[in-house]
Amino acid sequence: MEQLIEEFGHPTYTSFPVIVARMMLAAIFGAAIGFEREWRNRPAGLRTHMLVCVAAATFALLTIEIVHAPMFSPESMKDAVKVDPIRIVEAVTAGVAFLAAGVVIFTRGEVQGLTTGAGMWLAGAIGVACGLGLWQIAAFVTLLALCVLGLLHSIEVKFDLSEDKLDEKPVARRPAKSKAG
Protein backbone atom coordinates (compact mmCIF):
# COMPACT_ATOMS: atom_id res chain seq x y z
CA MET A 1 0.00 0.00 0.00
CA GLU A 2 2.88 2.35 0.76
CA GLN A 3 4.24 1.87 -2.75
CA LEU A 4 0.88 2.85 -4.20
CA ILE A 5 0.73 6.02 -2.09
CA GLU A 6 4.34 6.80 -3.00
CA GLU A 7 3.61 6.29 -6.70
CA PHE A 8 0.73 8.77 -6.77
CA GLY A 9 2.27 11.17 -4.31
CA HIS A 10 5.66 11.83 -5.86
CA PRO A 11 6.40 15.48 -6.54
CA THR A 12 6.75 16.92 -10.00
CA TYR A 13 9.69 19.00 -11.16
CA THR A 14 7.33 21.82 -12.13
CA SER A 15 5.19 23.13 -9.27
CA PHE A 16 1.47 22.46 -9.54
CA PRO A 17 0.43 26.15 -9.65
CA VAL A 18 2.81 26.66 -12.59
CA ILE A 19 1.34 23.60 -14.32
CA VAL A 20 -2.17 24.98 -13.84
CA ALA A 21 -1.15 28.42 -15.13
CA ARG A 22 0.48 26.95 -18.24
CA MET A 23 -2.54 24.77 -19.00
CA MET A 24 -4.97 27.64 -18.48
CA LEU A 25 -2.89 29.84 -20.76
CA ALA A 26 -2.91 27.12 -23.42
CA ALA A 27 -6.70 26.82 -23.10
CA ILE A 28 -7.16 30.60 -23.39
CA PHE A 29 -4.87 30.96 -26.40
CA GLY A 30 -6.43 27.93 -28.12
CA ALA A 31 -9.87 29.40 -27.41
CA ALA A 32 -8.91 32.70 -29.02
CA ILE A 33 -8.01 30.99 -32.30
CA GLY A 34 -10.92 28.54 -32.06
CA PHE A 35 -13.38 31.37 -31.44
CA GLU A 36 -12.34 33.04 -34.69
CA ARG A 37 -12.91 29.77 -36.57
CA GLU A 38 -16.23 29.26 -34.80
CA TRP A 39 -17.29 32.83 -35.57
CA ARG A 40 -16.69 32.18 -39.27
CA ASN A 41 -18.69 28.96 -38.99
CA ARG A 42 -15.74 26.78 -39.95
CA PRO A 43 -15.09 23.16 -38.98
CA ALA A 44 -12.91 22.58 -35.94
CA GLY A 45 -13.81 25.57 -33.84
CA LEU A 46 -13.55 26.58 -30.22
CA ARG A 47 -13.44 23.23 -28.45
CA THR A 48 -11.17 21.57 -31.01
CA HIS A 49 -8.56 24.33 -30.93
CA MET A 50 -8.66 24.45 -27.14
CA LEU A 51 -8.16 20.69 -26.89
CA VAL A 52 -5.31 20.70 -29.42
CA CYS A 53 -3.56 23.52 -27.58
CA VAL A 54 -4.02 21.94 -24.13
CA ALA A 55 -2.94 18.51 -25.41
CA ALA A 56 0.23 19.99 -26.88
CA ALA A 57 0.90 21.82 -23.60
CA THR A 58 0.42 18.56 -21.73
CA PHE A 59 2.96 16.80 -23.94
CA ALA A 60 5.41 19.65 -23.40
CA LEU A 61 4.97 19.48 -19.62
CA LEU A 62 5.35 15.71 -19.71
CA THR A 63 8.61 16.18 -21.57
CA ILE A 64 9.91 18.49 -18.85
CA GLU A 65 8.90 15.98 -16.20
CA ILE A 66 10.47 13.06 -18.08
CA VAL A 67 13.76 14.90 -18.55
CA HIS A 68 13.90 15.58 -14.80
CA ALA A 69 12.47 12.26 -13.60
CA PRO A 70 14.89 10.32 -11.41
CA MET A 71 14.09 7.09 -13.27
CA PHE A 72 15.62 8.59 -16.44
CA SER A 73 18.74 10.01 -14.87
CA PRO A 74 22.04 8.89 -16.42
CA GLU A 75 23.06 7.29 -13.11
CA SER A 76 20.01 5.02 -12.97
CA MET A 77 19.95 4.23 -16.70
CA LYS A 78 23.68 3.64 -17.14
CA ASP A 79 23.37 5.30 -20.55
CA ALA A 80 20.89 2.64 -21.71
CA VAL A 81 18.31 5.24 -22.82
CA LYS A 82 18.98 8.67 -24.25
CA VAL A 83 16.21 11.20 -23.65
CA ASP A 84 15.66 13.67 -26.49
CA PRO A 85 13.19 16.41 -25.52
CA ILE A 86 12.95 17.64 -29.12
CA ARG A 87 10.95 14.53 -29.95
CA ILE A 88 7.96 16.18 -28.25
CA VAL A 89 7.83 18.75 -31.02
CA GLU A 90 7.98 15.99 -33.60
CA ALA A 91 5.23 13.99 -31.88
CA VAL A 92 2.91 16.97 -31.49
CA THR A 93 3.52 18.03 -35.08
CA ALA A 94 2.68 14.56 -36.39
CA GLY A 95 -0.39 14.16 -34.20
CA VAL A 96 -1.86 17.56 -34.96
CA ALA A 97 -1.07 17.18 -38.67
CA PHE A 98 -3.17 14.00 -38.64
CA LEU A 99 -6.09 15.85 -37.04
CA ALA A 100 -5.69 18.88 -39.30
CA ALA A 101 -5.68 16.67 -42.39
CA GLY A 102 -9.09 15.41 -41.31
CA VAL A 103 -10.65 18.87 -41.66
CA VAL A 104 -9.27 19.41 -45.16
CA ILE A 105 -11.79 18.20 -47.71
CA PHE A 106 -12.02 18.21 -51.49
CA THR A 107 -15.51 18.80 -52.80
CA ARG A 108 -16.82 20.08 -56.10
CA GLY A 109 -13.30 20.69 -57.37
CA GLU A 110 -12.32 22.88 -54.41
CA VAL A 111 -10.12 22.30 -51.39
CA GLN A 112 -11.70 23.51 -48.15
CA GLY A 113 -10.48 23.60 -44.57
CA LEU A 114 -6.82 24.46 -45.17
CA THR A 115 -6.92 27.55 -42.95
CA THR A 116 -8.64 25.62 -40.17
CA GLY A 117 -6.07 22.83 -40.48
CA ALA A 118 -3.25 25.35 -40.34
CA GLY A 119 -4.91 26.94 -37.29
CA MET A 120 -5.02 23.59 -35.54
CA TRP A 121 -1.35 23.03 -36.33
CA LEU A 122 -0.54 26.46 -34.94
CA ALA A 123 -2.63 25.75 -31.83
CA GLY A 124 -0.41 22.73 -31.26
CA ALA A 125 2.71 24.89 -31.48
CA ILE A 126 1.18 27.45 -29.10
CA GLY A 127 0.34 24.64 -26.70
CA VAL A 128 3.93 23.40 -26.73
CA ALA A 129 5.13 26.94 -26.01
CA CYS A 130 2.68 27.23 -23.09
CA GLY A 131 3.64 23.83 -21.73
CA LEU A 132 7.32 24.76 -21.80
CA GLY A 133 6.56 28.04 -20.04
CA LEU A 134 7.40 30.22 -23.04
CA TRP A 135 4.27 32.34 -22.58
CA GLN A 136 5.72 35.39 -24.37
CA ILE A 137 6.13 33.39 -27.56
CA ALA A 138 2.69 31.80 -27.12
CA ALA A 139 1.01 35.17 -26.54
CA PHE A 140 2.70 36.85 -29.50
CA VAL A 141 1.96 33.96 -31.87
CA THR A 142 -1.69 33.91 -30.74
CA LEU A 143 -1.97 37.63 -31.41
CA LEU A 144 -0.28 37.20 -34.78
CA ALA A 145 -2.61 34.31 -35.68
CA LEU A 146 -5.67 36.37 -34.81
CA CYS A 147 -4.38 39.19 -37.01
CA VAL A 148 -3.82 36.79 -39.89
CA LEU A 149 -7.19 35.08 -39.46
CA GLY A 150 -9.27 38.18 -38.78
CA LEU A 151 -7.70 41.25 -40.31
CA LEU A 152 -6.33 39.63 -43.43
CA HIS A 153 -9.64 37.88 -44.08
CA SER A 154 -11.41 41.25 -43.94
CA ILE A 155 -8.90 42.71 -46.40
CA GLU A 156 -9.30 39.73 -48.73
CA VAL A 157 -13.09 40.11 -48.74
CA LYS A 158 -12.92 43.89 -49.17
CA PHE A 159 -10.66 43.65 -52.22
CA ASP A 160 -12.36 40.51 -53.55
CA LEU A 161 -9.15 38.47 -53.21
CA SER A 162 -10.64 35.67 -51.16
CA GLU A 163 -11.92 32.42 -52.56
CA ASP A 164 -13.97 32.23 -49.37
CA LYS A 165 -17.12 34.25 -49.95
CA LEU A 166 -18.71 33.01 -46.74
CA ASP A 167 -19.30 36.55 -45.50
CA GLU A 168 -21.01 37.54 -48.74
CA LYS A 169 -23.48 34.66 -49.13
CA PRO A 170 -27.07 35.83 -48.89
CA VAL A 171 -29.02 34.41 -46.01
CA ALA A 172 -31.80 32.14 -47.20
CA ARG A 173 -35.10 33.22 -45.76
CA ARG A 174 -38.26 31.23 -45.48
CA PRO A 175 -41.21 32.69 -47.29
CA ALA A 176 -43.68 34.30 -44.96
CA LYS A 177 -46.82 32.32 -44.37
CA SER A 178 -49.84 33.96 -45.91
CA LYS A 179 -53.06 34.26 -44.01
CA ALA A 180 -55.18 33.69 -47.08
CA GLY A 181 -57.96 31.34 -46.78
Give the whole-angstrom CA distance, residue 168 versus residue 163: 11
Question: How many other β-carbons are positioned within 10 Å of the β-carbon of residue 64?
Answer: 19
Q: What share of the chain is helix, strand, coil (3-state, %, to 5)?
A: 70, 5, 30
- Please check whether residue 179 lies inside any domain of the structure: no
CB-CB contact of 76 with 86 (8 Å): no
Predicted local distance difference test score (pLDDT) of residue 169: 44
- pLDDT tens over the chain, length 181 residues: 787 777 676 678 899 899 999 999 999 999 998 888 888 887 777 888 888 899 889 888 888 887 887 766 666 656 555 667 778 778 888 888 888 788 787 677 777 887 888 888 888 989 999 988 888 999 999 999 888 888 877 887 888 766 554 444 444 445 555 555 4
- Please check whether residue 98 lies inside any domain of the structure: yes
Predicted local distance difference test score (pLDDT) of residue 71: 67
Predicted local distance difference test score (pLDDT) of residue 5: 72
* Number of domains into which the chain is organized: 1
DSSP state of 163: S
Give the whole-angstrom CA distance, residue 98 versus residue 121: 9
- Please check whether residue 174 lies inside any domain of the structure: no
Predicted local distance difference test score (pLDDT) of residue 167: 43
Range of the domain at 123: 14-168
- Please check whether residue 5 lies inside any domain of the structure: no
Supply the pTM of this predicted model.
0.68
- Please check whether residue 109 lies inside any domain of the structure: yes
- Please check whether residue 177 lies inside any domain of the structure: no
- Please check whether residue 122 lies inside any domain of the structure: yes
- Please check whether residue 146 lies inside any domain of the structure: yes
